Amino acid sequence: MAELSLQHIDKIYDNNVQAVFDFNMDVKDGELIVLVGPSGCGKSTTLRMVAGLEDISRGSLLLDGVDITRMPAKDRDMAMVFQNYALYGHMTVYENMAFSMTLRKENPNVIHKKVLAAAEILGLTSQLNKKPAQLSGGQRQRVAMGRSIVRNPKVFLFDEPLSNLDAKLRGATRREILLLHKRLQATMLYVTHDQTEALTLADRIVCMSMGHVQQIGTPLELYDTPANLFVAGFIGLPPMNFFDVLFEDGMLKGKGFTVQLTEEEKHRLSSYNMKEITLGIRPEDICEGNDIAVKVFSNENLGMNTLVHGHMGNGLRVTAKLRGWAEYRPGDEVRVSFGRKHFFDKVTTNAIRGEE
C-alpha cells in the first residue's frame, strides 16, 4: 500500500531559478506514473524531490497520508533506479543487490532469500557471480532494478533507466519493466523524455514543459485529446502537423487550402466564427484522398508505413504517415484528405473542446 500525494510543489534553486511550478498530483497505490517532457522541463527535478535528493521549496509531499516533505531520503522507503545504473564495479551482481540490506545489518539468510527471489524475477540467477563489467547494458539495468526490488520499497523511482541502451534492448527492457510492474503491483514513478516509453508503460502520464504540468491523463487521453498545443506536438511520432486557419462559413480556410468540417466539428467551433485558430492533424490521420494537393519533397519507408513529407499550397509543410510501402519521388503530387482534426485556441494554445 503506497499512495503518494504531491501538493502545490515548487522547486526554486538558490539562484532564484524556478524549475518546477505548482506540481499537483495524487498517485494511487500500484499505479505507474510516467513523467514525460523535453530536457529541462523539470521532470527529473520532481522525481529527485520525491526521492529526497532535492529539497522541496514549497508545497508538501505525502506518502500514505504522512508528510515526508522534510524527511531524509534514507527514511522515505523509496528506491531509485538511475540512468547510469550506479552499480559498484568491484562487487558481484549478488553483492550489489545485497549491499543496501547488508549496510542495514539485516540477517544474511534473509538477504540471501530476497536476492535470489529478485534475481529469479529478473532472470539474473545465472549472472549472480559476475561483476557489472561482464554484463550487457540491459543486464546491468536489471541489476539496478534488482537492487531496488530486494529492498521492497513503498515506491519505485526510475530516472530515465533506458536512455543508455540501444533501441532493441530498450524495447526489451521496457517490456520487462512493464511485466515487473504487473508482478509487483508497486507504485512507480518513471521519468523519461521518450514518448514511446511513456505511452507503452504508463497508467497515467504527466506531460511537463518549462516546469509546468501541461496535462495529466491516460496515454490515450494525451494522444487523443491533448490539452494544448504543447502536448499535441510532444505526444505522437512524427509530431502533429499544425496550420493556422480561419473558421468561416462552416469551413476552415488556410493558406492555399480549405477543409470541410463535419456538423460536430462546426458545433465545437461555434464560438470561433471568423476567428483564427490552430488546426492540428496527426500524420497518421492523413490519408490518400481528393481534398488537398501535397507536393512531395521526401519519402521515408518504414516498412508497414511510409512517411511522406511535402508542401501544401503556399509552402506549408505537412507530414503524412501513409499505410503500406509507397515510393513517391520529390516533385510528385499526391492528393490527401484529413481525418480526425484537433483545434486549438490561437491565443491560449488550449484545445477547443466545444464546451465554451
Partner 1 sequence: MTDDRIVKRDRMRYTKNTLSSTLALLGIVFDVLYFVSIYQSDVGTYYYNILIGASVLYNLIFMLMAFLSSEGVKNYKPGYSWLLMALGLGQIVRIFILPLSAFRAEYVIKKVSYPVMEAGQFTWVVVCLCISAACCFASAVINLIKSRQLAEHIASLGDKA
Beta carbon of residue 112, minimum distance to partner 1 (angstroms, whole number): 5
For partner 1, the closer CB: 28 or 112: 112
* Nearest-approach distance from CB 146 to partner 1, in angstroms: 13
Sheet holding 66-67, edge to edge: 18-27, 4-12, 58-63, 66-67
CB nearer to partner 1: pick between 90 and 183: 90
Binding mask 300-329 for partner 1 (x = CB under 8 A): ------------------------------
Q: Which amino acid is at 312?
A: M
| Residue closer to partner 1 (CB basis): 19 or 111 | 111
**Scanning residues 129 to 148, which ones bind partner 1 (CB under 8 A)?**
129
CA distance 192 to 159: 7
The answer to whether 216 touches 25, Cβ cutoff 8 Å, is yes
Closest distance to partner 1 from the beta carbon of 183 (Å): 23
Closer to partner 1 by CB, 94 or 343: give it: 94
Q: Which residues are bridge partners to 132 per DSSP? A: none
Stretch that binds partner 1, among 51-59, 88-96, 195-203, 219-227 (CB under 8 A): 88-96
Q: In the chain, what is the greatest distance between 2 CA atoms, to the nearest angstrom?
A: 77
Quick one: 132 or 236, whose CB is closer to partner 1?
Answer: 132
Chosen residue from 7, 60, 92, 200 binding partner 1 by CB under 8 A = 92
Task: Find the binding residues for partner 1 in span 103-132 (CB under 8 A).
Answer: 108-109, 112-113, 115, 128-129
Name the E strands within 107-262: 155-159, 187-192, 204-209, 212-217, 241-248, 251-254, 257-260
CB closer to partner 1, 67 vs 120: 120
Q: Measured from the CB atom, is 93 or 318 closer to partner 1? A: 93
- In angstroms, rounded to a whole number, what is the distance separating the alpha carbons of residues 134 and 92? 10
Task: Write the single-letter amino acid at 334.
Answer: V
User: Which residues touch 52 (CB under 8 Å, ≥6 apart)?
Assistant: 68, 71, 72, 73, 74, 76, 78
Is residue 201 within 8 Å of 171, Cβ to Cβ?
no
Which of 23, 85, 94, 247 binds partner 1 (CB under 8 A)? It is 94
Backbone angles phi and psi of 247, in degrees to 5 = -90, 115
Shortest distance (Å) from residue 128 CB to partner 1:
5
Residues near partner 1 (CB under 8 A) are 92, 94-95, 108-109, 112-113, 115, 128-129
